Amino acid sequence: MEGRGVTNYEAGTPSYGFTTATTEFDDELISRGVVTFEQAMIAKGASPSEARRLTELKAMDKGDFRFGLNEDCVHESSNIRQLGDGHDIESHVSGEIDDDDDDDDEFIRKYRKNRINELKTGTNQEYGDVLPISRPDWNREVNEASKDGLWVIVNLTLCSTSHSVTHDEICYEVEDLIKKLANKFLNVKFVSIPSTSAIENWPVENLPSIFCYRYGKMQHQLIGIETLGGAGVNLGRLEWRLALLGVLETDLEDDPRPSRTENMVFNSAGGQFRGGMSRLATSRQYDIDDFDDVD
């Protein structure tokens, strides 16, 4: 049985259901005793009381009460701002990890790096999934959510088929890659919206289209297959391009090799798709300010 819950933050704000599903990263933290299941639920947005209820349901279902709350960490987020820079933050992070943990453990190194970055930026919200939104949600989930420095990545998804089967397959592949990035970069918010729901008459040839928001405004846009790494786009190539824009912090040292040939993409009818609509954020046709607010 999987518990479900709804959390209300304000009377005038709609509530959204969430599941007790955890990411692989959460599972690693829980298995190592770094966080509890209840803390993982709070990080997803559940209130403390709702997180406790879901934890009890999870424990009853599993017959295992390892999911309990570490009371010392309940109010950790309120204490983050009291930390200074440098040594104070690193000492705080080290205190979260047992001395017996191997410093050479790749997971521990990544966790330490992520936590130090969270404490320095004052953000510790974790996402781990792609949030589907509609046009009325845009201002709240994108503009408002990014105002304090959070990166919000908007993926416009395919609504109708184009003249190229391969083009459409790549669009679906990018959707899958975005989900994998969301699972990997937990402190970046990823949302998706059907392209024509976001922008009326948005050309299907412009897809894939990714908008990157921060401080309430669009900072970058990647429009078309070529901007995402060409026909050979894969997880590494997409991550590399977002890292070049400063949206993600990557451990990659070079642009990964493409997964398929980039010379040309052919459709089933023998025609050609050259990615001619592909543009970077500096394109004259699309002014970044045009998309700062979506009514």
The fraction of the chain above a pLDDT of 70, given in percent, is 59
pLDDT band for 114, please (50, 70, 90 cuts).
low
pLDDT band for 147, please (50, 70, 90 cuts).
very high
Judge contact between 228 and 237, C-beta under 8 A: yes
Residue 205 in this model has a pLDDT that exceeds 60: yes
pLDDT band for 35, please (50, 70, 90 cuts).
confident
**Lowest model confidence (mean pLDDT) among 13-22, 44-53, 118-127, 248-257:** 13-22
Average pLDDT over the chain reads 72
- Under CATH, which number does the domain 130-291 receive? 3.40.30.10
Residue extents of the structural domains in the chain: 4-121, 130-291
Report pLDDT for 295.
Answer: 57
pLDDT band for 26, please (50, 70, 90 cuts).
confident
Identify the bridge partners of residue 156 per DSSP, sorted by sequence position: 193, 209
For helices 106-121 and 87-96, angle between their N-to-C axes, nearest 10 degrees: 130
What does the alpha-carbon distance between residue 255 and residue 71 come to, in Å, rounded to a whole number?
44
Task: Write the burial class of residue 209 (CB in 10 Å: 0-12 exposed, 13-18 middle, 19+ buried).
Answer: buried
| Residues contacting residue 189 through CB under 8 Å, at least 6 positions apart | 125, 127, 131, 141, 145, 146, 150, 151, 152, 153
pLDDT band for 55, please (50, 70, 90 cuts).
confident
pLDDT band for 112, please (50, 70, 90 cuts).
low
Q: Is the peptide bond before 208 cis (omega within 30 degrees of 0)?
A: yes
User: Residue 80 is encoded by which pair of tokens?
Assistant: 């983050």
Report pLDDT for 9.
Answer: 35
In three-state secondary structure terms, 265 is: strand
User: Residue 237 is encoded by which pair of tokens?
Assistant: 């190539």
- Is pTM beyond 0.75 here? no
Residue 87 in this model has a pLDDT that exceeds 50: no
pLDDT band for 292, please (50, 70, 90 cuts).
low
Span 216-273, pLDDT tens digits:
999 999 999 999 988 889 999 999 999 999 999 888 888 888 876 544 443 333 333 3
Residue 80 in this model has a pLDDT that exceeds 90: no
Report pLDDT for 70.
Answer: 44
**Lowest model confidence (mean pLDDT) among 99-108, 109-118, 259-268:** 259-268
User: Residue 289 is encoded by which pair of tokens?
Assistant: 């300010």
